[in-house]
A and B are shown apart, each in its own frame.
Chain A
Amino acid sequence: MLSCKDVTQLISESMDHSLPLGKRIGVRLHLLMCKFCLRYERQLLLIRETVRRFVATEEKPGGAPGETLSEEARERIRKFLRNPQTALDKGCGRPTEEAGAAGD
């Protein structure tokens, strides 16, 4: 007989691969009798669905506004794209020692 602890592990696994038939049946039978595990499964699926929907809306250029590159990074990348060959020759890392960087 599967415990709730076993069932939560199997619910998660079923989101990553298809369970062998015996386990699948064990989980379904358990869920018929256990409202907590049933709730647990629904909540994991809700989290998955919410993340997917959000990712789908987010991933369009010019889509949802949100965080932006810092001015510093923007300028650094711009500089590189204006003069790529020099940047490639020098290596295009973040400056290791920033002039005027103050401690806290």
Chain B
Amino acid sequence: MVKPANHDPSDWVDRYGDYLFRYAMLRLRDRFAAEDLVQETFLAAFKDRGSFSGGSSEATWLVGILKHKIADHFRHQAREAPLEDNDLRDQPDSSPFDGSGHWAKGPTDWGGNPEDLYREQKFLDQLAKCLSGLSPNHAKAFTLREIEGADTGEICKILNVSETNLWVILHRARMQLRRCLETHWFNRSTEEGA
């Protein structure tokens, strides 16, 4: 008896549904959009199931499709909400620098040995919250660069921005994210009081 090249699509949702959903949620932080993209991924996979070679695992194949769906989603949003001046401009009231470009309030010492942060669920929740607090274009650029690991050329095409502008956006995103984590995570004990 010859085994079929790929599993029965009817058990895809049980085998891979949550996995794909988490993958999408990590990048979109929007339950509704993530569920839609998972559904679209299965739809595209079904239509294209003849192309699954079996060379990679089925999970890898499905994630590959989902990656494209996510990039399309960002591309579409970038067309709907193009870059604004505010995405590039200094926010005077939130700048950590004084008029001469020196730190008005420098980064605080984060202390300890925070190498295992990636295992701390509460930290990751805070990170997601801080990301959601960024402007949509900043959050997307950061997500594509640091979570998706895309190179800047690719991100420029998806977000339809020049490379120079992307560097500025990523700089702003990192700066705000760093500060958000400092306030809500690293300095939280002093903030909460005891």
Interface residues of A (CB under 8 A from B): 3-6, 8-9, 12-13, 15-17, 35-37, 39-40, 43-44, 46-55, 57-59, 61-63, 66-70, 73-74, 76-78, 80-82, 84, 87-88, 92, 94
Q: Please, how many residues of chain B have a CB less than 8 angstroms from a CB on the other chain?
A: 60
Does B181 sit at the interface, judged by CB under 8 A?
yes
Given contacts A12-B170, A54-B118, A57-B118, contact A73 B38 (CB under 8 A): yes
Whether B146 pairs with A48 at a CB distance below 8 angstroms is: yes
26 cross-chain CB contacts under 8 A: A4-B103, A5-B101, A8-B175, A16-B152, A16-B166, A37-B103, A39-B106, A44-B174, A46-B110, A46-B117, A47-B178, A50-B114, A58-B23, A58-B26, A61-B59, A63-B19, A68-B22, A69-B38, A70-B31, A77-B13, A77-B17, A81-B10, A81-B46, A82-B10, A88-B47, A94-B39
Question: Measured between alpha carbons, how far is A82 from B144 in the docked complex, in Å?
Answer: 34
What is the total of A-B residue contacts with beta carbons within 8 Å? 144
Question: Measured between alpha carbons, how far is A5 from B102 in the docked complex, in Å?
Answer: 6
The closest CB in chain A to the CB of B21 belongs to A69
Whether A5 pairs with B145 at a CB distance below 8 angstroms is: no
The closest CB in chain B to the CB of A48 belongs to B146
Whether B114 pairs with A39 at a CB distance below 8 angstroms is: no
- Nearest CB of A to B120, in Å: 9
Residues of A within 8 A of B39 (CB): 73, 76-77, 80, 92, 94
